[in-house]
Structures are given as C-alpha cells and as structure tokens.
C-alpha cells in the first residue's frame, strides 16, 4: 500500500515537472511564430493611414513586449552596474532603455537591416537551427532574414538569444550580423559609467530619445 | 495482535502519512519553484541583488568575463587621438561622402550601381578564398571559388551576380584569419576615412591591398576605381552609420564594439 501511494505521488511529482515542458513552445517555434506576427504587422497596408498606423504601432510595441524581456536586456547592458544601482534607479532606466531598444529593433526591421540605403523589404525570417545551454534554460535561435532590395535578393544573419522565464521564452539579446545589441550597449554604458555618474547616463538616454522624436 | 504489534502498525501508518505529506510538500515546492525563487521574470535566484542577472552562456566573452562583471574590450591606448580621427571622419562622411553618394545615386541608375557593387565585390572573392583556406573552411573556399569563376565568366567580369542565386558571398578577411590563428588585435586604431581597425586589422588591410589587382593598374585606373569604390561604399554604408549614431549613447564605443564583433574568428558575414 505504502509503495503504491509513494509511486502515485512520485508520478504526480514527475508529471508536474514534465507536463509544462511538453506543452511549452520550443525556442524555434516561439521565434518563428513571433517574427511572423511582427512581419505581418509591418507588412500591413494600413501604415499610410494615420489612425490605422497608431493601432499598428501599438500592436507592434505589444508584440515586442511579448517577445523581449526588456528588463533583463537592461541588466545585461548595465553589466556589473546592474547590481550596484538602487531599485528606484532600476525603475528609471528600464523604461528608458526599453524605448530605445524598441526604436532600434523596429527601425532595423522596417528600414535597414542590411547595409544598403536602397529601399528594401524583408520577405521572411526563417529559423535555421537552435542550441540550448544552462540545462535548457537558455537558447540561441539562428535565423536568416531574406531581403529584397531593389529587385535583388540578399540575406542577413539575425540571431536571437532567449531565456526561459515564468511566462515562457523571452529574448534577452539580438545579434545582427554578429553584432550583439546588448554587448554593444554594455560597452557604451560601461565606458560612460567608468567616468560619470548613473544620473549622467540617464540624462544621455533621455537626450537620445528626444533626438528620436 | 499484541500491544507491540499494534504499536508497530500505528508507527508504520504514521510514517506512511508523514512520507506522503513530505512528498506532497516537495511536489508543491518544485512545481512552484519559479514563482517562489524568481522575480516575476524568473530564473531562480533568491538574493535581491542577484535577480539582476547579466551573465550570458552564449557570449564569446564567456560566462567568466561577463558574469564577473568586466567587458572584454579591445585595448585602446590611442583613444584621445582615435576620438579626434573619429570626429573628423564623421564630418567627412556627413559633409563630403554623403552628398557625393547621394549625387551618385541620383545620376546613376540602380542597375548600374548594382553592377559597380558586384564588380568590386567579385574582386574580393580571391581574398575570401585564400582566407577560407587559411581558416580551414573548405566549404567557404569552394563557395568563393565557385562564385568567382561563375561571376567572372557568365557575370561578364563580375558586373552581374548569377552565382548569387545559389552561392551567397561569405566574407573572410585577413584580420579574421589572424584572429583564428590566435593573434591578438593589439590595439584599436581609427584610420582617416577607412575608420575602425586594429594593429592586426591594419596588417590585414596591407595584405589585402597587395591582393587587389586594381592597385597594379595604371594610375588613372587606380584613381577611377578608388573613386567608384568610395562612392559605392558611401551609398551602402553611410545610412547604416547614421542609424548607428542615432541609437548610440557613445557612437565611438558603439563602432569600436561592432568592429570587435565582426573581426572575430567565425564571424558569419
């Protein structure tokens, strides 16, 4: 009897561990579904209509929030400084850096992913492969963006780094042609914070966002 | 049943319920681990400071460096001079090359510009071939060889890119090859007009200039090809450069970081 009940409990225990994993999306399917959704919004013909464009912009930002963990991206960009700043400073920098990252990503997707000034269109982004690390809690998904530029086809490498969070997979870094977005900002922030205060960095971020507007 | 036997049965039942409760508790604990230990975004970590995770298991800087807090960055003892050259280059890009590139774009049909671009790109294939071999990448060497042969013949001396349908260009520089051989970049340097490089990268550029057949032509041809190449690059790279500046809090460091990433061994460009 004891063995039977222990066995049942053990099965329940295992089930709680295995069922969410079986039902969860793979990193590849998570990225493919979400980039398809983002490209669908970008391809929408309503961008020229001001009212519709507002709705599309909101949908686009919401889609990015569903894909990225901007909080973790901020911590990674801050590097060791992430642990030295106060909670209120975290509350200040996360929304600012989130807006900057959203601007970068949207602009990359909508106007210039490759290195040409000619108008172009991203035909599709195709997942090639993925690798996992950290007991499957981290994944890197390698994708290729197929671009049509002035009638000519070209490709660009676009890799997503993901981490498993409570809400599922979320992207914490993007590599565009080998250049990591987060690493690039980490070097900038690190250089600024080595010689200046945190408030100076916040001010610089604000200035950058005002320039954008 | 004796009193002792009765006691044993009772003890056994108590132990059984205790074990059951323990297992249920463990089940709950494991199932809710992300909620308890996480921070709402959570990979397990309970201390408040360590919620701010910044390690990256995929970073070439390695867990080691990033997790311990540093950023591996190319040595930059010439930073003050480099920043001045960077500022001068910026003015030249914005006030000379950008307008020149726009003029070139206006007066030249897209198909012609594409052919100019293809022509210079085709001339880099022998360099890609040699570097692929030196890096032990036979597949990329085969790719470069195939592209060069097909585009030089069927593509009319490289003006067209018929090979591109099946063989995408894979760029490999001497800088990258030296990186694969374990040679350190030395230090960062910003050259007038050419921009970001390093001591190692400069050595690579010198070798590549020797490998460029146009440098052996008559002076007039050299000047014409240099002008066309500069216009082609202005059209292709200045908009990208402008975007980088627009989104960076320190464009000098942003460009330096991008150079480092793209000159690494195994760069996929």
Provide the shortest C-alpha distance from residue B94 to chain A (in Å): 14
pLDDT confidence band for B58 (50 / 70 / 90) = confident
Chain A residues touching residue B25 (CB < 8 angstroms): none
Q: What is the number of other CB atoms lying within 10 angstroms of the CB of residue A100?
A: 22
- pLDDT of B251: 95
B27/B198: higher pLDDT: B198
Strand order in the sheet with A120-133: A120-133, A138-149, A152-165, A168-176, A179-180
Q: 3-class SS at B170?
A: coil
Judge: B239–A117 Cβ closer than 8 Å, yes or no. yes
Q: In the predicted model, is pLDDT for residue B64 greater than 60?
A: no
Q: Which of B42, B238, B268 sits opposite A166 (nearest CB)?
A: B42
Cα separation of A6 and B15, whole Å?
A: 12
Cα separation of A94 and B50, whole Å?
A: 17
Q: Report DSSP letters for B171-182, one per residue.
A: ---HHHHHHHTT
Provide the shortest C-alpha distance from residue A47 to chain B (in Å): 21
Asked whether the beta carbons of B173 and B127 are under 8 A apart, the reply is: yes
Q: 3-class SS at B74?
A: coil
- pLDDT of A173: 94
Q: Which of B19, B69, B256 sits opposite A80 (nearest CB)?
A: B69
Chain A residues touching residue B79 (CB < 8 angstroms): none
- pLDDT of B28: 45
Residues whose CB falls within 8 Å of the CB of residue A45, separated by 6 or more in sequence, listed in order: none
B7/B52: higher pLDDT: B52
The residue assigned the tokens 């998904």 is A141
Helix, strand, coil abundance in chain B, percent, nearest 5 = 70, 5, 30
Q: In the predicted model, is pLDDT for residue B164 greater than 80?
A: yes
Chain A residues touching residue B18 (CB < 8 angstroms): none
Provide the shortest C-alpha distance from residue B100 to chain A (in Å): 14
Per-residue model confidence as pLDDT tens digits over B31-42: 444 433 333 344
Calculate the alpha carbon distances from B213 to A120, B170, B209 in Å.
32, 20, 8
Chain A residues touching residue B82 (CB < 8 angstroms): none
Judge: A165–B105 Cβ closer than 8 Å, yes or no. no
Cα separation of A98 and A113, whole Å?
A: 20
Cα separation of A175 and A177, whole Å?
A: 6
Q: Residue B24, Cα to own-chain centre: how many angstroms?
A: 49
User: DSSP character for A80?
Assistant: G
Number of inter-chain CB pairs under 8 A, A vs B: 168
Judge: B257–A188 Cβ closer than 8 Å, yes or no. yes
Chain A contact probe: residue of B24, B57, B70 with most A CBs at under 10 A:
B57
pLDDT confidence band for B17 (50 / 70 / 90) = low
Provide the shortest C-alpha distance from residue A127 to chain B (in Å): 16
Q: Which of A5, A90, A161 sits opposite B58 (nearest CB)?
A: A161
Computed over every residue of chain B, the mean pLDDT equals 81
Chain B contact probe: residue of A3, A19, A80, A159 with most B CBs at under 10 A:
A80
Spans of chain A below 50 pLDDT: 11-22, 112-117
Provide the shortest C-alpha distance from residue A146 to chain B (in Å): 12
Asked whether the beta carbons of A135 and A153 are under 8 A apart, the reply is: no
- pLDDT of B166: 86
pLDDT confidence band for B85 (50 / 70 / 90) = very high
The residue assigned the tokens 């900038």 is A188
Chain A residues touching residue B53 (CB < 8 angstroms): 72, 75-76
Q: In the predicted model, is pLDDT for residue B142 greater than 90?
A: yes
% pLDDT > 70, chain B? 75
Q: Which of B56, B164, B257 sits opposite A187 (nearest CB)?
A: B257
pLDDT confidence band for B216 (50 / 70 / 90) = confident
Q: 3-class SS at A180?
A: strand
Q: In the predicted model, is pLDDT for residue B94 greater than 70?
A: yes
Give the residue among B13, B35, B16 at the shortest CA–CA distance from A9: B16
- pLDDT of B2: 54
pLDDT confidence band for B266 (50 / 70 / 90) = confident
pLDDT confidence band for B65 (50 / 70 / 90) = very low
Tokens of A113: 């992913």
Task: Report the length, in residues, of chain A.
Answer: 213
Question: ipTM of the predicted structure?
Answer: 0.79
Q: Which of A172, A178, A205 sits opposite B249 (nearest CB)?
A: A205
Calculate the alpha carbon distances from A56 to A50, A65, B172 in Å.
10, 14, 40
Instruction: Calculate mean pLDDT across residues B215-232.
Output: 90
Chain B contact probe: residue of A8, A20, A81, A83 with most B CBs at under 10 A:
A83
Tokens of B242: 């402008």
Asked whether the beta carbons of A59 and A106 are under 8 A apart, the reply is: no
Tokens of B84: 């001045």
B81/B22: higher pLDDT: B81
Instruction: Calculate mean pLDDT across residues B48-74.
Output: 57
Tokens of B266: 């195994």
Residues whose CB falls within 8 Å of the CB of residue A1, separated by 6 or more in sequence, listed in order: B16
């Amino acid at each position: 009897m004891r063995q039977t009940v222990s066995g049942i409990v053990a099965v329940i225990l295992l089930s709680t561990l295995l069922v969410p994993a079986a039902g969860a999306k793979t990193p590849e399917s998570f990225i493919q579904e979400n980039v398809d959704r983002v490209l669908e919004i970008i391809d929408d013909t309503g961008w020229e209509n001001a009212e519709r464009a507002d709705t599309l912009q909101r949908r686009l930002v919401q889609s990015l929030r569903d894909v990225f963990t901007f909080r973790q991206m901020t911590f990674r960009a801050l590097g060791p400084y992430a642990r030295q700043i106060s909670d209120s400073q975290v509350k200040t920098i996360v929304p600012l850096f989130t807006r900057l990252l959203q601007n970068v990503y949207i602009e990359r997707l909508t106007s210039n992913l490759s290195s040409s000034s000619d108008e172009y269109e991203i035909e599709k982004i195709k997942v090639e492969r993925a690798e996992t690390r950290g007991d499957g809690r981290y994944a890197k998904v390698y994708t290729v963006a197929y671009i049509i530029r002035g009638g000519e086809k070209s490709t660009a490498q676009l890799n997503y780094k993901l981490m498993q969070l409570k809400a599922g997979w979320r992207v914490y870094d993007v590599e565009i042609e080998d250049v990591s977005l987060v690493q690039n900002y980490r070097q900038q922030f690190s250089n600024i914070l080595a010689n200046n205060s945190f408030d100076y960095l916040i001010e610089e971020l604000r200035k950058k966002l005002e320039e954008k507007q | 049943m004796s009193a002792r036997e009765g006691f044993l049965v009772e003890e056994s039942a108590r132990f059984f319920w205790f074990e059951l409760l323990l297992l249920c508790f463990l089940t709950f604990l494991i199932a809710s681990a992300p909620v308890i230990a996480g921070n709402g975004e959570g990979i397990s970590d309970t201390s408040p400071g360590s919620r701010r995770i910044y390690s990256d298991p995929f970073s070439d800087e390695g867990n080691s460096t990033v997790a311990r807090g540093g950023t591996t960055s190319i040595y930059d003892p010439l930073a003050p001079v480099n920043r001045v050259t960077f500022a001068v280059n910026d003015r030249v890009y914005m006030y000379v090359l950008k307008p020149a590139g726009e003029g070139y774009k206006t007066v030249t049909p897209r198909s012609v510009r594409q052919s100019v671009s293809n022509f210079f790109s085709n001339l880099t294939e022998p360099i890609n071939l040699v570097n692929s071999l030196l890096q032990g990448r036979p597949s990329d060497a085969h790719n470069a060889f195939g592209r060069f042969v097909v585009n030089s013949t069927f593509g009319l001396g490289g003006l067209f890119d018929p090979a591109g349908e099946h063989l995408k260009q894979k760029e490999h520089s001497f800088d990258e090859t030296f990186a694969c051989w374990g040679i350190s970049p030395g230090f960062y340097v910003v050259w007038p007009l050419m921009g970001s490089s390093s001591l190692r990268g400069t050595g690579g550029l010198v070798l590549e200039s020797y490998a460029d057949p146009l440098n052996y032509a008559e002076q007039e041809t050299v000047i014409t090809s240099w002008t066309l190449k500069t216009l082609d690059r202005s059209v292709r790279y200045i908009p990208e450069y402008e975007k980088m500046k627009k989104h960076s809090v320190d464009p000098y460091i942003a460009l330096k970081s991008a150079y480092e990433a793209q000159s690494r061994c195994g760069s996929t460009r």
